[in-house]
Structure 1
Amino acid sequence: MFGLFRENVRIALDSIRSQLLRTILTIVIMGIGIWALVGILSAVKALENTISSDFASMGANTFNIQRYDFNVQRGGSGEREKINPVISYDNIREFQERYEFPYARTSVSFRGTSRAEIKYESEKTDPDIQVYGVNEHYIENTGSEVTRGREINLFDVQNNNKVCVLGSDFESGLFEGANPVGKTISIRGVKFKVIGILKSKGSTFGNNQDLKVLIPIQVARSLFTQPNINYTISIKVDDKEMMAGAQDDAIVTFRNVRKLSPVEENNFGLERSDDLINRIGSITEYLEWAAWIISIITILGSSIALMNIMLVSVTERTREIGVRKALGAKRSTISTQFFIETIVIGQFGSILGIILGVATGIIFASIFSFKFSLPIGAMIWATIITFLVAIIAGSYPARKAAKLDPIESLRYE
């Protein structure tokens, strides 16, 4: 049985070599369909991985109060742009005083600048460092982690200590070859003692999460005095079952802070990481459908091409088929031979498409600094699809070859 299969594969390869140009064109057409499927799904998967990990790092038990909802429709034809007031320092201070939901920790923060220059002794960075003013709960609520030293604590915040926690890139940059903890840096001429180093988070859409400096929020307010600073409030609860209650309480509290009447809409946004991930997942679902539609159309065209090439092969090998039948080959043997030939061509197309698709995903991920993962599901489906297409495309030529009359076939020129 295995010997017959191996012989059929050998014959199939010999036939492919004898019709090399047509076979290559068919393989390329089929490969393009699989390339579209695997390539688009690889890129979508890399995008989902990056966005999901970035939002998930906020924590499943965490939600934010911010200036706008994630999906707010700002501007548009015939509509006035919705402008919410910034979340001011008075807002966050009053919110912290009023919000007393049990087992909830409130983090407040703002970005002072994204163009800071950090100095250490005679060395300095490029002016592209982000500096955040934070309170003692910021690191925990954002899913960050300190790998060296310690976090900013309540004592630092209340006493306006000039201390800072650095992103991980400073270890390989400004402090290359040295332990930054305990060293003193300068930001806008103010000296800060380094007390901790954050675990690496990578970059998202070109925004490096490891080139940032965290300092106590009151110190940051004295250092960055631009008007209309917008603050972010992040709340984390210990138990996910308490999320709904914590959110309701936070909305009521912040409405009171904003002095909104019962009939007025919220002039602020509230977002959970889970909500963002689900919304992004619904968007990427359309991209996945597009990948399937494109690949199905292309594979349909390649299946027609594959059927045609096999019909031509049957015609060209009519005399060979007659000789085989005269020597005792059964219909099933002839049919199986052409089926295997079709499947071999289909799998070559599948391999080509998978290689090109994975390469496309890797290139896409590297260009946009996304987190690539091998699209195992898409690769399995690609293999199954090409196998089924080969069976469908090869069934008619195989049946036609099996039904040829041996006498007439031997007379064929």
Structure 2
Amino acid sequence: MFSLFWENVRIALGSIKGQLLRTILTIVIIGIGIWALVGILSAVKALENTISGNFASMGANTFNIQRYEFEVQSNRSGEREKVNPIISYNNVREFLNKYEFPHTKTSLSFLGTAGAEVKFGSEKTDPEVRVYGINENYLETSGTEIEKGRNFTFFDVENNNKVCIIGSDFMKSLFKNENPINKTISIRGVKFKVIGLLESKGSTFGNNQDLRVLIPVQVARSMYTQPNINYNISVMVGDKQYMEAAQDEAIITFRNIRGLSPVEENNFGLERSDDLINRIATMTGYLEIAAWIISIITILGSSIALMNIMLVSVTERTREIGVRKALGAKRSTISTQFFMETIVIGQFGSILGIILGILTGYGFAKAFDFDFTLPWTAMIWATIITFIVAVIAGSYPASKAARLDPIESLRYE
């Protein structure tokens, strides 16, 4: 049985070589459909892995109090319906004093600048370093790990100690082949002692999380005094079962801080990290559906092209079919031979599309610094789809070839 199978494959490859140009065009058409499927799904998966990974690092038991909800409501003219006041330092300080839900940790942070120049000895960075003011709970609530050194303590923050924690990219510039711990760097002329080095987290949409400096919030406030600074509040709940209660308590506390009456709507937003992940999954789901629709339309066109090339092949090889039948070949043998040719062409197209799709997804991931993973599901489905398409497209030509009359076939010119 296997010898007959390989013989059919050998005959199929020989037939393909005989009509190389048409076969290549058909393979390319099939490959484009699979390329659309695998390429888009690869890119979507890389995007989903990176964004979900960044939000998941916050932990499923963390929520944020922020100026707006994740979804910005707009009116028909495209303008925001209402402008929420910023979360000021006084708001944050009041919240830290009044919010006392058990087994929670609250962090605060703000971005001082996204264009700082950091100096160490005679070396200095480009003016593209982000400087954040944080408290001692920031690293834990944001899922950020220390590779070397230590985190801030309560006393570092309260006593305005000139200490800092730096991102891993500084090991490539300022501290090549050197331990940065206990070294002194300068930002805006203020000297800071390095007490910690962060683990690498990569970047998302151009936001390099490894090129940042974290300093105590009070020190940051004295250095960056621009008006209307918006602060971020994150709350980590020790036990997930208390998440809803902790959120309700946080909303009540912040409403009281903002002086809202019971009938007024919240003028701030509250978001859970897993809510963001779910929304991202929904958005990427739409992109995956679009990829399937595009690829199915393209593959449908390629199936028609594949059927046409096989019909032409049947017509051109009518005399050959007549000779084989005259020598005793059965209908099933003729039909199987043409089926095999169709499947071989389809799988060549599948391989081409998968390779192009993987390269596209990989290139997309590298261009935007996303986490690339092989789209195994898309690759398996691509193989299955092309096999099904080949069977459907080859059914009529194979049936037509099997039904040819041997006498008439031998007379065919």
Shift of 1:81: 4.0
8 Å CA contact retained: 1:149, 1:195: yes
The equivalent residue for 2:403 is 403
Does 2:157 correspond to 1:157?
Answer: yes
- Unpaired segments ≥5 residues, structure 1: none
8 Å CA contact retained: 1:104, 1:236: yes
| 1:73-88 → structure 2 map (5 Å cutoff) | 73-74=73-74, 76-77=76-77, 81-88=81-88
* In structure 2, distance between residues paired with 1:300 and 1:399: 20
Normalised by the length of structure 2, the TM-score is: 0.98
Shift of 1:73: 2.2
Q: Which amino acid aligns with 2:320?
A: E
Shift of 1:107: 0.3
| 1:330-341 → structure 2 map (5 Å cutoff) | 330-341=330-341
* In structure 2, distance between residues paired with 1:176 and 1:273: 36
Q: What CA deviation, in whole Å up to 9, does each residue of 1:329-379 have, x standing for no partner?
A: 111111110000000000011011111111111111111111111111011
Q: Which amino acid aligns with 2:398?
A: A
Does 2:245 correspond to 1:245?
Answer: yes
- Unpaired segments ≥5 residues, structure 2: none
The equivalent residue for 2:175 is 175
Q: Which amino acid aligns with 2:151?
A: E
The equivalent residue for 2:370 is 370
Q: What CA deviation, in whole Å up to 9, does each residue of 1:87-117 have, x standing for no partner?
A: 1111011101110111000001111111111
Q: What CA deviation, in whole Å up to 9, does each residue of 1:155-191 have, x standing for no partner?
A: 1111111100000111121111100000011111111
Equivalent residue pairs, number? 413
The equivalent residue for 1:90 is 90
Matched residue of 1:4: which SS? helix
The equivalent residue for 1:286 is 286
The equivalent residue for 1:275 is 275
Q: Which amino acid aligns with 1:347?
A: Q
8 Å CA contact retained: 2:151, 2:165: yes
* In structure 2, distance between residues paired with 1:82 and 1:126: 38
8 Å CA contact retained: 1:95, 1:257: yes
The equivalent residue for 1:313 is 313
* In structure 1, distance between residues paired with 2:242 and 2:310: 64
The equivalent residue for 1:135 is 135
* In structure 2, distance between residues paired with 1:243 and 1:312: 67
The equivalent residue for 1:348 is 348
| 1:112-151 → structure 2 map (5 Å cutoff) | 112-151=112-151
Matched residue of 1:332: which SS? helix
The equivalent residue for 2:219 is 219
Matched residue of 2:33: which SS? helix
* In structure 2, distance between residues paired with 1:213 and 1:410: 84
Q: What CA deviation, in whole Å up to 9, does each residue of 1:42-88 have, x standing for no partner?
A: 11111111110111111111110011111112565175542111111
| Percent of paired sites with the same residue | 77
* In structure 2, distance between residues paired with 1:67 and 1:357: 40
Aligned Cα root-mean-square deviation (Å):
1.1
Matched residue of 2:374: which SS? coil
* In structure 1, distance between residues paired with 2:301 and 2:112: 57
Shift of 1:389: 0.3
Q: What CA deviation, in whole Å up to 9, does each residue of 1:233-292 have, x standing for no partner?
A: 000011111111111111111001111000111111111111111112111212111111
* In structure 1, distance between residues paired with 2:193 and 2:265: 44
8 Å CA contact retained: 1:75, 1:82: no
The equivalent residue for 2:297 is 297
* In structure 2, distance between residues paired with 1:146 and 1:282: 32
8 Å CA contact retained: 2:73, 2:80: no
Q: Which amino acid aligns with 2:363?
A: I
Q: What CA deviation, in whole Å up to 9, does each residue of 1:194-238 have, x standing for no partner?
A: 000000000110110001011111111111111111110000011
Q: Which amino acid aligns with 1:212?
A: R
8 Å CA contact retained: 2:30, 2:346: yes
Q: Which amino acid aligns with 2:29?
A: I
The equivalent residue for 1:359 is 359
The equivalent residue for 1:56 is 56
8 Å CA contact retained: 1:105, 1:137: yes
* In structure 2, distance between residues paired with 1:132 and 1:64: 17
